[in-house]
Amino acid sequence: MSSPSVPGNVSSRFTSTSTPPVLSTQTPAQPAASSSAPLNTLTASTTGPEPTDQSMSSSHTGSTNLASAIYFYLATESQITTKIGDSTSIITTDVSVGVPETLSSGSYKYLATTSTSSINGNIITMIPISVGTPFPTNLIKINKGLSAGDSAAIGIGGVILGVILAAAFWFLRFFHKKRRGRNLYSNRGSTGQYEEHRMTNSKAALARASALVPKSSAAVVLYNHIPQPVDDNTIKSGYSKLKSRIDGHVQKFYFSKGGDEKSVIDGFSRAFAGDAPIPSSHHLQSILGDSQSRMRVLQAGIASIVITRMLPDGPPAQSFLPLVFTHAYASFSNNTLDGQVRAAFRGQWRVISACLSQSLYGRDSITEDDPRITNIQEARARADLFLRPLAATNDHESRLRNLEEIMKRAARLGWLIFSQPSEYAADWTDKGRGVVYPALLQLTDENGEAHPSPVVFSPQEPMMQ
């Protein structure tokens, strides 16, 4: 009789030692013709007499007396429908497990270890059996302590658990990728957050490039420590509040009707020395007769004194800015540099100068020992020349203190504007209606490049509506 035919993917590894044997590479010998009956149908509910010691042992001699314990995984889904007969074979399982496969030899079926992990995708359990003799039906005994229903429940539960774990893994992986994408791109609708993200990336790139430059390089030091420009709204808000303070001062402390109008006209002439941003004296007299127009004229007079002194291009000797800077700033216009280059140099000079002097001039309050206080008090006295004749109170001390606080506010706003790399100017252009508050314009960007047309931070307010 020929040797059993073993499939190519099956390795028969048995020895003739006691159960369970050590696996080897020997091929099981062909059984004797007088061996037991062929294998019958194998089900999870198989019953029959308990296997005897004789049936569990090897009863052959020589090479046919090989016995081995192999692990058979019994499917737990309902019943095993696989038949061990003339035409049906058991599906192979994982080589590390050692699940049997049917080997044909005449009318008998033999079992050998094979290489899969399940039968038809079902979870199976292990039982040891004897190899080398026909496989009797009553030898199959499945986990004596578990019923078929218990085994099915365990198998189904394991499958469900595996599906849940796999689903959780892929869900978490997908959620992680989606959140990364959202964190990276979801802020592009917000200009401020996207610009911050872009600037952060730019700084990172510059930092990598600056690694090649000596750490003492002036360019690297300046970039890392020079203050960034303030938000445009900060300057706009400061200018708006200054105008509101001037309006409130006029409405609170001065008559809207009556008073010495002739002294007011004379006071304007002395305060501005013929260069007042108001109508002529003859026209002024008629305006003062109207209560609303009178208030506008007084506001225009205060604004003219305050705003011209707070900007860098104002009169150097009368400026609300530190004189050490205003005189130097005025001299910069005499150089031969290109306009944009000069504007860029001048802007960086202002920023650096303000940074070096911040402890002196960047404070929230201007005290009596501040060098700017002299010009502030001189401007207050000049404005009082046309304001006092219309004062509605004899408490001139409170009135002048309030007026001085307005000028100190203007000095602080002027310092903020001075410390920016962009250039600003006031537009007093009279279009025939007089000017109460000039337009505040931004002339250049932070790189010193002139805007195609000045950016209006605050529009001009005419005297005559």
Q: Which residue, among 264, 246, 303, has the nearest Cα to 440 in the 3D structure?
A: 303
Clarify whether residues 104 and 235 are in a common domain.
Answer: no
pLDDT, average across residues 309-324:
91
Joined tokens for residue 373: 């206080």
Q: Which of 152, 180, 199 is the last residue of a domain?
A: 152
pTM, entire model? 0.54
DSSP string, 145-189: TS-HHHHHHHHHHHHHHHHHHHHHHHHHHHHHHHHHHHHHHGGGG
287 with 399, same domain: the answer is yes
User: Which residues span the domain enclosing 35?
Assistant: 1-152
What pLDDT shows up at residue 373?
Answer: 95
Burial of 120 per CB tally in 10 Å (0-12, 13-18, 19+): exposed
pLDDT value for 137: 42
Query: Domain for residue 365, yes or no?
Result: yes
Strand boundaries in 276-376, DSSP class E: none
Q: How many CB atoms lie within 10 A of CB 27?
A: 17
pLDDT tens-place string over residues 216-225 = 567 677 777 7
Helix axes 261-272, 291-310, angle to 10 degrees: 20
Please report which confidence band the pLDDT of residue 240 belongs to, taking 50, 70 and 90 as the band edges: very high
Q: In the block, which residue shows the tokens 């970039």? A: 223
Cα(454)–Cα(274) distance, rounded to whole angstroms?
A: 29
Domain assignment present for 16:
yes
pLDDT number for residue 222: 73
**Same domain (yes/no): 143, 34:** yes
Residue 11 vs residues 20, 60, 63, 65, 96: alpha-carbon distances, Å: 17, 22, 17, 19, 11
Q: What is the pLDDT, as a whole number, of residue 232?
A: 94
Last residue of a domain, one of 132, 152, 172: 152
Largest CA distance in the chain: 146
Q: Is the pLDDT of residue 67 over 80?
A: no
Structure tokens that stand for 131 in this block: 């190899």
Mean pLDDT, rounded, for 143-157: 58
Q: Return the amino acid letter for 65.
A: N
For the chain, the average pLDDT equals 68
Could you tell me which residues come within 8 angstroms of residue 195 by beta carbon, excluding any fewer than 6 positions away?
none
Residues 417 and 317 in one domain: yes
Is residue 148 located within the same domain as residue 31?
A: yes
Q: Do 377 and 284 fall within a single domain?
A: yes
Q: Alpha-carbon distance 9 to 22, whole Å?
A: 20
* Residue 7 structure tokens: 């499939």
Residue 136 has pLDDT above 80, yes or no: no
CA distance linking residue 244 with residue 236, whole number of Å? 13
Q: Report the pLDDT value the prediction gives residue 233, as an integer from 0 to 100.
A: 95
Is 354 inside any structural domain? yes
Least confident of 202-216, 227-241, 373-387: 202-216
The SS3 assignment for 464 reads coil
205 in a domain, yes or no? Answer: no
**366 within some domain:** yes
Q: Is residue 196 part of a domain?
A: no
Per-residue confidence (pLDDT) for residue 154, from 0 to 100? 63
> What would the mean pLDDT of 90-114 be, rounded to a whole number?
39
Q: Tell me, what's the pLDDT at 276?
A: 60
Q: Is residue 219 part of a domain?
A: no
Instruction: Among 118, 136, 152, identify where a domain stops.
Output: 152
140 plus 248 within the same structural domain: no
pLDDT category at 299 given cuts 50, 70, 90 is: very high
Q: How confident is the model at residue 166 (pLDDT cuts 50, 70, 90)?
A: low
If one counts the domains in the chain, the total is: 2
Reported as type and span, the H/E element at residue 454 is: strand 450-458
- Whether 299 is covered by a domain: the verdict is yes
* % of the chain with per-residue pLDDT over 90: 28
